[in-house]
Copies of this chain bind each other. A is one copy, B any other.
Amino acid sequence: MIWWGLIWLGNLAGGVVTTAPERGDVMEDLKQAIHQAYTGEAKATLRLKVFAEKAREEGHPQLAKLFEVISLSEEIHARRALRLLREIKETQENLAECFESETKVAGVAYNQFIKLAESSGDKDASQYFSQSRDVEETHANLYKEAMGHLLQDRETTYYVCRVCGYVADGLLPEECPICGAKKEQFVICGDQ
């Protein structure tokens, strides 16, 4: 896993055992530690997938396989941490949380990121942030539909743009409405 241990050491006060802290403090520190593990493992999962792609590009399929398998292992750690945090609610509540989060992420965080990227003159970053913001808005709509029980009675196939992450519901577009990628760039998803 990647370098998050040192951040954790910087974040927590330390001296957990020697200073005989209050029980409430210990439980709060423990929760923070589990959350730190979840974050570190989730990042490692992702990073190792990208290392695997890189290894494959460089003609090292065995090393790619190693990165992939350790990525899966880190994913198992992250899921286990998330279960320990007991933050997973019932599905309707999870949907509502997702809708609310997407709205904030698109309307607040990504909008700030876009301003920052524009002021820096970094066009790749500007494009990344603005396309991601637009995609997060479409996620919010998908969650909203699902909260309105519109999904219950129909089977649907999704198509996901590999470039910007746009999710098309039921119909493969000729090109991505967010980033303009051709339909060949889409992956079919969710068929079982």
Chain A interfacial positions (CB closer than 8 Å to B): 1-6, 8-9, 12, 16-17, 23, 26-27, 29-30, 33-34, 36-43, 45-51, 54-55, 58, 60-63, 65-70, 72-84, 88, 90-91, 94-95, 97-98, 101-102, 104-105, 108-110, 112-113, 115-117, 119-120, 122, 124-125, 128-129, 132, 135-136, 139, 142-143, 146, 151-152, 154-156, 158, 160-167, 187, 189-190, 192
Contact in complex: A115, B16 (CB < 8 Å): yes
Cα A55 to Cα B112 with chains together (Å): 33
Cα A98 to Cα B66 with chains together (Å): 11
Nearest first, the 8 A-B pairs at minimum CB distance are: A5-B109, A73-B165, A76-B165, A65-B190, A69-B158, A42-B46, A55-B91, A62-B151
Known contacts A94-B51, A98-B51: A33-B152 contact under CB 8 Å: no
Contact in complex: B73, A3 (CB < 8 Å): no
Protomer copies: 2
**A30 to chain B: closest CB distance in Å?**
5
Q: A60-B152, A62-B156, A76-B161 are in contact. List 9 more A-B contacts (CB 8 A).
A: A5-B110, A41-B46, A54-B88, A54-B94, A58-B90, A63-B146, A63-B151, A66-B142, A69-B167
A47 proximity list for chain B (CB < 8 A): 82
A61 proximity list for chain B (CB < 8 A): 192
